[in-house]
Amino acid sequence: MTFLSPVRSIFRAVVSTVVPEAKSLGEPGWSELEMLVETTLQDRPRAMHRQLRLFLRAIQWLPVFRHGKRFTSLSAEQRMQILGYLQDHRVEAIRCGFWGLRTLALLGYYGRPEGAQATGYAADPRGWEALR
């Protein structure tokens, strides 16, 4: 079992909200994205893994109070509202949790070769010399 296994559907809903292009990923793309995130987190303390899973579960249930539905059942617009609320939350730990999760979503999507190509960035081993 991997770190993301118990919260995979929530994580995918968050990623699809943060990076709308992720909605078009097939299963191989999602697997690659999740593997990048798993690899990034593998050397982190287990306590951080638990905190991140707990934060994802909180994201799943938080909308029930306002919308009567879990995060994975919300429309894209409602998901954006929930994540916007977390992004600007007055409690620093919640804001930090959101920004960490957002960073993992971006890393997973744009860390894949296809995602990197979508940005139009073409790395060159010559660095700035390539522009001259």
The pLDDT tens digits of the residues spanning 18-46 come to 999 999 999 999 999 999 999 999 999 99
Q: From CA 4, how far away is CA 110, in angstroms rounded?
A: 18
Q: Judge contact between 56 and 7, C-beta under 8 A.
A: yes
pLDDT of residue 117: 78
Q: Give the distance from CA 5 to its chain's centroid.
A: 14
Region of 68 on the Ramachandran plot (φ > 0 left; ψ -120 to 50 alpha; else beta): left
The amino acid at residue 111 is G
Q: Tell me how many domains the chain contains.
A: 1
Residue 29 lies in domain:
5-131
DSSP, res 88 = T
Asked if pLDDT for residue 8 goes beyond 60, the answer is: yes
Confidence at 1, pLDDT banded by 50, 70, 90: low
Q: From CA 101, how far away is CA 95, in angstroms rounded?
A: 10
Q: Judge contact between 1 and 63, C-beta under 8 A.
A: no
**pTM, full prediction:** 0.87
pLDDT of residue 79: 97
pLDDT of residue 7: 96
Q: Can you read off the two tokens belonging to residue 29?
A: 């793309």
Minimal CA–CA distance to 97: which of 82, 108, 86? 86
60-115 per-position pLDDT tens digit:
999 999 999 999 999 999 999 999 999 999 999 999 999 999 999 999 999 988 88
pLDDT of residue 126: 85
